[in-house]
Amino acid sequence: KKDSMDSGVAGLRDQHLNSNNKSCSGCTDTDSSEIEVSSGKTTYLKGKFLGKGGFAHVHELVDLSTRIVYAGKIIPKNRITKPHHIQKIAREISIHRNLVHKNVVRLHHFFEDNANAYIVLENCSRKSLFHVLKHRYSVTEPEARYYLRQLVEGVKYIHSQKVIHRDLKPGNMLLSEDMVVKLGDFGLATLVDGNKKVSICGTPNYIAPEVLNKLSYSYEADVWAIGCILYAMLVGQPPFETASLKETYSRIVNNKYTIPLTVSENGRKLIRQLLQPLPENRILVEKINGHDFFKNVYTPDTLSPLCCYTAPAFN
Ligand code: ADP
């Protein structure tokens, strides 16, 4: 309902997360590309379009006082027509705002005006692993270890905060200017409250069998998705992808996939441990970065942005 949105997204009005709170003073929204968005104290200049999500369009937002560039998820209020939409956004913000880690996109500021809600995020200027795989198809094993290691650090952290992401996939592994992996999009995330979850959500290709089978599930569903992501990085497509959703689901619940022999033996071993059909048999997230896949082999500490487009020559 519009009323509840106007009185703040479920009470989350103007949350400046690392400075003083101030109430909004409005926004001058026109079609010009240089729009100033103001939340009382902070004024942002709306710049380049970065991407589109469910309700949101994402633009660069430049803080005019510091010149720091953020990614602003802008959610038009006239698109939020149902109370559960408001709840969903409020939930995303209330979960995301408490997460502070190098491998998680930082939620810097949340505010709203009459027209929009604004989620001001750490900017990830190199897009995401999805874009890397789009250009590269697959990546080398040292690069896969680089991305995997940081994905796992991010997931270990959010799990320690009792958060299940539930939609881990290459498109939600954002990349900062210096190619650091940042987990993003907490739109489907949930807080673990002791009761295991039963609702179905996630992205078809990366969804865990216990979620599809409507069984209770927990943190292990994220570990399954990590397995699908590692497979996709090394093979070029996710393990259960087919032209039909029904067939994909059937393959997931029957654990039907093959790993090409181009993948190293330890790579194949780790994928199998991540894609265990029973969640209790899956490798623990804490153990992934100590797996043999990482032993006595090279894992880069940094990656050149050129790796978004071409395979590096490690030497
Ligand atoms: P939704 O949750 O509505 O699906 P997303 O969070 O997936 O929206 O964002 C939509 C698109 O915006 C992403 O695919 C990405 O291209 C861009 N984007 C989102 N967050 C950032 C960010 N922090 N930095 C840079 N681009 C971003």
Chain segment 221-230, per-residue pLDDT in tens: 999 999 999 9
Work out the burial of residue 187: count CB atoms within 10 Å of its CB; fewer than 13 is exposed, 13-18 middle, 19 or more buried: buried
- Would you say the CB of residue 170 lies under 6 angstroms from ligand 1? no
- Would you say the CB of residue 185 lies under 6 angstroms from ligand 1? yes
Q: How confident is the model at residue 315 (pLDDT cuts 50, 70, 90)?
A: low
- Would you say the CB of residue 184 lies under 6 angstroms from ligand 1? yes
Residue 73 counted as an annotated binding residue: yes
- Per the listing, tokens 């071993």 go with 269
- Would you say the CB of residue 37 lies under 6 angstroms from ligand 1? no
Which DSSP category does 172 fall into? G
* Six token digits for residue 191: 């807080």
Residue 235 Cα to ligand 1 middle (Å) = 25
Give the residue, out of 46, 48, 73, 118, with the most ligand 1 atoms within 8 A of its beta carbon, to mutate for a pocket test. 73
Q: Which stretch of 34-43, 59-68, 90-99, 149-158 has the lowest confidence by average pLDDT?
A: 34-43
Residue 260 Cα to ligand 1 middle (Å) = 32
Using the predicted structure, report yes or no on whether residue 22 has a pLDDT greater than 80: no
Q: Which atom of ligand 1 is nearest to the CA of 105?
A: 23
- The mean pLDDT of 192-206, rounded to a whole number, is 77
ipTM for this model? 0.95
As a whole number of angstroms, the longest Cα–Cα distance in the chain is: 61
* Orientation of helix 129-136 relative to helix 220-235, angle to 10°: 30
Please enumerate in sequence order all residues whose Cβ is within 8 A of that of 133, keeping only pairs 6 or more positions apart, or say none.
139, 170, 232, 233, 236
Task: Give catalytic status of residue 167 as yes or no.
Answer: yes
What ranges make up the beta strands (E) of the chain?
15-16, 35-39, 42-52, 57-63, 69-76, 107-112, 116-122, 163-164, 173-175, 181-183, 190-191
Q: What is the pTM of this model?
A: 0.88
- In sign, the C-alpha dihedral spanning 239, 206, 311, 103 is negative
Q: Which of 14, 167, 185, 222 is catalytic?
A: 167
Q: Could you give phi then psi for residue 76, rounded to 5 degrees? A: -65, 130
